[in-house]
Structure 1
Amino acid sequence: MRLIEKVWFHSHPAKWILVPLLLPLSLLFLFISSSRRIAFKFGLLPSFKLSKPVIVVGNIGVGGNGKTPVVLYLVELTRSLGFTPGVISRGYGGQAPYYPYLVNEHSTPSQAGDEPVLIYQRCQVPVAVGSGRIASARLLISQGCDIIISDDGLQHYRLQRDIELIIVDGKRLFGNGLLLPAGPLREGQWRLSNSDLVIYNGVQPTTKHILTTDNVTPSLLLNLQATHICNLKSRERIALTDFVTAHDKVNAIAGIGAPQRFFDTLTAHKLQLLNQQSFVDHHKFSLSDFSQFGDDIALLMTEKDAVKCQGFCKDNWWYLPVDAQFNDKDTQLFTDKIKKLTEEN
């Protein structure tokens, strides 16, 4: 974990030096972001309404909060309700030959970014990549999509949205509560009360942990469920319980926003981690990153990491896909909100 993340989330003693140094930059960030938001609100900067409904899945902080599993969940839910969904993403870390770029079966993470490739491979759903989200969405609409799901883009106010979901890491919450770079937040906690739904990943905190006292936005609890595990090379897919029986000791790597969450998931399923290695989010893997791991013990990674390692994977490399799960009440809340889009558009 980087030192700045320890300051943000774990009250590292370095906070007494770094936070005062970075606070002026946080104030500048506040001024710029607030000015921009106000400009969009009052029409000083143009925003655009698409011909099809838009669902934005985002967060107010940096790091992995569980957006991608929610996007995958929404793809399947909208399909079950008769929609033809498409996903737009910035494609962080990718360098496509042109934009907007439509992901296909030959696309690589170096072109489209790791998350868009994961979403396309998992769901076989149209995915358009580019910083211009409006152009990406229009491309998908021209391809026949009748609902757009935006992977991130909460602060992309040029694109008007019909439903706005904010994902919060239920364990880390908002760190020290400060804006970037002194803290992990892109927007203040007040932003929760302006969204349609707040989704807490893993733990739903009590109201005393939330600074916004006027927050009447419905909150949901997200659980990430792992049921099977896949081999990168052979594509073999086996039940997680069977894997645990055969491999009680494993090695593990994670290059996501919150690597410890992945390691905790493995230990919660009774897997003993001999070695674990964290990498920064969106890390571009090469074979040299795995030199410390032998071929005789299974190496586990996240699905997002796996899409970047398929070109040089070994027989003992496995990845653990996870699925978003909500209780029946929350699932019905999702369903009602999405069905309402048909009436409004």
Structure 2
Amino acid sequence: MRAPDFWTGDGSGIAPFLLSPFAALYAAATARRVARPGWRAPVPVICCGNATAGGAGKTGLALDIGMRLANRGVAVHFLTRGYGGTLRGPVRVEPGRHDSKAVGDEALLLAAERPTWVAADRAAGARAAIEAGAQALVMDDGLQNPTLEKDLSLLAIDGSYGFGNGRVIPAGPLREPVAAAVSRAQAAVLMGADECGALAQLPPGMPVLRARTVPGPEAAQLAGQAVFAFCGIANPRKFFTTLSEARAIIAGRAAYADHYPYDAGDMRELLAEADRLRAIPVTTRKDFVRIPPAFRARVTVVTVTLAWDEPARLEAMLDPLAARVPVPA
């Protein structure tokens, strides 16, 4: 879906007001759900979650943490719901066999780096992963899923979006009130500058880690080049800004709804527009896995990674969890 315009701003207006009773019901249902106890896994479980619908950098955060644990010799497996896919799991993602229609785009990004499991029931997915050798589990999303107990929950916040208008779905983008989300998180991770005053809504003393996305090496090759940028992510502005900061010349752009499933007709239109503009068609890694394979050779992917202001603070949070993992003989 594409987020309605009234999900941003101060939360005033007729639409948020009229939808507020439904928002109250949604929040109450979430509160009842998360209050249920979950399964305690015998391995560390780290959750990268958020309070809003749509992206806040959870997948990039999960990938970063997975890399840091793997660098310590920990056998890390990713666990995700597989949003946008048809499989409920538990199933181990095989990029050569599964596509985004089956497991969702995020699962494919994760599976390109580490073993990844899609499971609507996260506890069942955790059991399958542990049986397959997982020494630690990193969840992409799941802060509002109670089926699996977490040892460390990180609340990802997009600094350019914050908590939107501060209201709960459908009156706003929040999955639950901010106070409820932060009560189950041990730290917040602010992605980029705090443009919306999100940090002021966090409780005093809550640890805040700061990170920013930096483009991969392919972005440097686009400096001074005309590009036609397209994406279907929660915050398209972030992608366009990344290209501008890499000094690419954006000759044209197209923004689709988050997780948009491109078909052959879409790609023919997009590539024709790129040709008309004499521009290089570029997109995100997340979008690329949703493009029909026959068209991928024509599209340039711009990747991003996380750069931390104080990476030692994150490593310190991982220390006690990594210490629980048995060292191989």
TM-score where L is the length of structure 1 = 0.86
Contact 2:34 2:145 in 1 (8 A): no
Q: Say yes or no: does 1:116 pair with 2:96.
A: no
What is the CA-CA distance between 1:114 and the residue it aligns to? Answer: 0.6
Q: Deviations over 1:99-150 (max 9, x none)?
A: 21111132211111111111112x1x11010201111111111111100000
> 1:200-279 alignment to 2 at 5 Å?
200-204=190-194, 210-212=200-202, 214-229=203-218, 240-245=219-224, 247=225, 249-279=226-256
Matched residue of 2:161: which SS? coil
Q: Deviations over 1:239-290 (max 9, x none)?
A: x323324x2x110111111111101111122222222111111111112113
> 1:122-133 alignment to 2 at 5 Å?
123=113, 125-133=114-122
Going from structure 1 to structure 2, the CA distance change for 1:220 and 1:204 (only over 3 Å counts) comes to farther
Contact 1:58 1:151 in 2 (8 A): yes
2:31 is matched with 34
Contact 2:162 2:197 in 1 (8 A): no
2:165 to 176, 182, 192: 176
Contact 1:298 1:317 in 2 (8 A): yes
> 1:287-326 alignment to 2 at 5 Å?
287-290=264-267, 291-292=269-270, 293-295=273-275, 296-309=278-291, 311-313=293-295, 315-326=297-308
Name the CA distance, whole Å, in 1 between partners of 2:195 and 2:207: 13
Query: Runs of 4+ in structure 1 displaced over 3 angstroms?
Result: 204-209, 342-345
Gap runs ≥5 in structure 2:
none
Contact 2:45 2:136 in 1 (8 A): yes
- Read off the aligned partner of 2:134 and give its amino acid letter: C
Matched residue of 2:294: which SS? coil
Q: Say yes or no: does 1:23 pair with 2:20.
A: yes
Name the CA distance, whole Å, in 1 between partners of 2:75 and 2:155: 23
Name the CA distance, whole Å, in 1 between partners of 2:261 and 2:196: 38
1:334 to 304, 310, 314: 314
> 1:8-19 alignment to 2 at 5 Å?
8-10=7-9, 16-19=13-16
Name the CA distance, whole Å, in 2 between partners of 1:310 and 1:74: 30
Matched residue of 1:177: which SS? coil
> 1:47-62 alignment to 2 at 5 Å?
47-62=38-53
Contact 1:298 1:318 in 2 (8 A): yes
Going from structure 1 to structure 2, the CA distance change for 1:93 and 1:324 (only over 3 Å counts) comes to same
Contact 1:193 1:217 in 2 (8 A): no
- Read off the aligned partner of 2:288 and give its amino acid letter: A
Contact 1:81 1:339 in 2 (8 A): no
What is the CA-CA distance between 1:339 and the residue it aligns to? Answer: 1.9
Name the CA distance, whole Å, in 2 between partners of 1:27 and 1:75: 36
- Cα RMSD (Å): 2.2
Name the CA distance, whole Å, in 1 between partners of 2:197 and 2:214: 26
The count of aligned residue pairs is 318
Name the CA distance, whole Å, in 1 between partners of 2:197 and 2:265: 46
1:6 is matched with 5
Name the CA distance, whole Å, in 1 between partners of 2:292 and 2:33: 41
Going from structure 1 to structure 2, the CA distance change for 1:36 and 1:215 (only over 3 Å counts) comes to farther
Name the CA distance, whole Å, in 1 between partners of 2:245 and 2:322: 41
Name the CA distance, whole Å, in 1 between partners of 2:50 and 2:83: 15
Q: Say yes or no: does 1:75 pair with 2:66.
A: yes
Name the CA distance, whole Å, in 2 between partners of 1:183 and 1:161: 27
- Read off the aligned partner of 1:266 and give its amino acid letter: L
TM-score where L is the length of structure 2 = 0.90
> 1:136-215 alignment to 2 at 5 Å?
136-190=125-179, 191-204=181-194, 210-212=200-202, 214-215=203-204
Going from structure 1 to structure 2, the CA distance change for 1:241 and 1:37 (only over 3 Å counts) comes to closer
Going from structure 1 to structure 2, the CA distance change for 1:223 and 1:342 (only over 3 Å counts) comes to closer
Going from structure 1 to structure 2, the CA distance change for 1:102 and 1:206 (only over 3 Å counts) comes to closer
Matched residue of 2:174: which SS? coil
